[in-house]
Structure 1
């Protein structure tokens, strides 16, 4: 099995995603709804990566190298219009994490992301969104003290420190809160239903 070619494919998919994201940042469009072209890129990347996973299993650092392993995880994180694919990958990551083949942080970010899309509390507080005060804040989580303990156990900073970093990053990317918070919330819930995160 030629893993080097597979690794190159995964990295190219990730680069395409990030290049388009940069374009959105430069246009000041990042965070202003889910861009249709971006959604197409995410869905395309998920389809290709799913085929790769069906062929070789989860692309771990051991078989495709660190860069492609990191790229695969990013593609999965961005495959938000593909609930079944993301959940399938989460199950594979649980197994890989038990065998120490992937970082616990990657599993934490993915499980939190899925929880947020399913309107469930996150365990590690890794996912952020605009709140009604126009600030980027962590999505709902179960308990601050427990979340910070879990974060510390896998080498993450505190949720308070991460909130500061996320807000600074948004300023650097010229991201602005939605003009109509309630409307945006409704649009997100409608989108979640449309793609199958909630019923």
Structure 2
């Protein structure tokens, strides 16, 4: 295992999550536009992940361990300024899932994010919007009748279970506000 690489990936995500929390705490997020500080950090992290991939391939569990492999996925997930790179990462994750070198849910989330950002229906139902009343609702899903079969293949619970979890989180959030 490459511990230095693992530490670097985890540090990248720690900084990402710290900045995200700071922006929420200061009231700067949520926002209608991409916050410039968040965008800058995401672009910096994506650039570094490209270098890592160029030198080592996808940083999966065998290379960096489970926590850092998840960190690499999150950097790719947050690379929204570079859709082409995100799409490349989907292909790399497909190969890594086939080798059992990353968790399948990582592929589901990234592939759905790439598709929804491109205006296409998602495959796994991992990406949610909110309805007119502020309740979670999944973005459109391609072939929704078999979505739970696809979700199960990658280790996800059913769409109905996930929707209930997200609805409960929103209920709790609303209860804390009142």
| TM-score bucket (shorter structure) | 0.7 to 0.9
Aligned mates of 2:59, 2:172 — CA distance in 1: 32
What root-mean-square deviation, in Å, do the aligned CA atoms of Structure 1 and Structure 2 show?
1.9
1:142 aligns with 142
What is the deviation of 1:164?
A: 2.5
**CA–CA distance in structure 1, aligned partners of residues 91 and 143 of structure 2:** 24
1:114–1:97 distance in 2 versus 1, CA, 3 Å = same
Gaps of at least 5 residues in structure 2 are none
1:119 paired residue number: 119
The answer to which of 3-12 and 154-163 deviates more is 154-163
Pair 21,173 (structure 1): closer, same or farther in 2 beyond 3 Å: farther
Cα distance in 1, alignment partners of residues 171 and 41 from structure 2: 25
Structure number with the bigger relative contact order (C-alpha 8 A, sep ≥ 6) is 1
Alignment gaps of 5+ in structure 1: 175-199
TM-superposed CA distance for 1:20, in Å, is: 1.0
Q: How many angstroms apart in 2 are the aligned matches of 1:20 and 1:173?
A: 21
Alignment map for 1:61-72 (pairs within 5 Å): 61-72=61-72
Residue 61 of structure 1 contacts residue 68 of structure 1 at CA under 8 Å; is this kept in 2? yes
The separation in 2 between residues aligned to 1:168 and 1:32, in whole angstroms, is 23
With 25-34 and 138-147 compared, the bigger mean Cα shift is at 25-34
Label 1:167 to 1:21 Cα distance change in 2 as closer, same or farther (>3 A). farther
TM-score of the aligned structures, taking structure 1 as reference length: 0.79
Provide the aligned length of Structure 1 versus Structure 2: 173
Q: Quote how far apart the aligned CAs of 1:39 are.
A: 1.1
Q: Deviations over 1:136-179 (max 9, x none)?
A: 211111233311221123221221221232234356667xxxxx
Q: Please name the residue that 2:17 is paired with.
A: 18
Q: Secondary structure at the match of 2:97?
A: helix
Q: Which moves more between the two structures, 41-50 or 20-29?
A: 20-29
Change in CA separation of 1:169 and 1:126 when aligned onto 2, cut-off 3 Å: same
Could you tell me whether the CA contact under 8 Å between 1:25 and 1:173 is conserved in 2?
no
- 2:166 is aligned to 166
Change (3 A) 1:171 1:44: farther
1:188 match: none
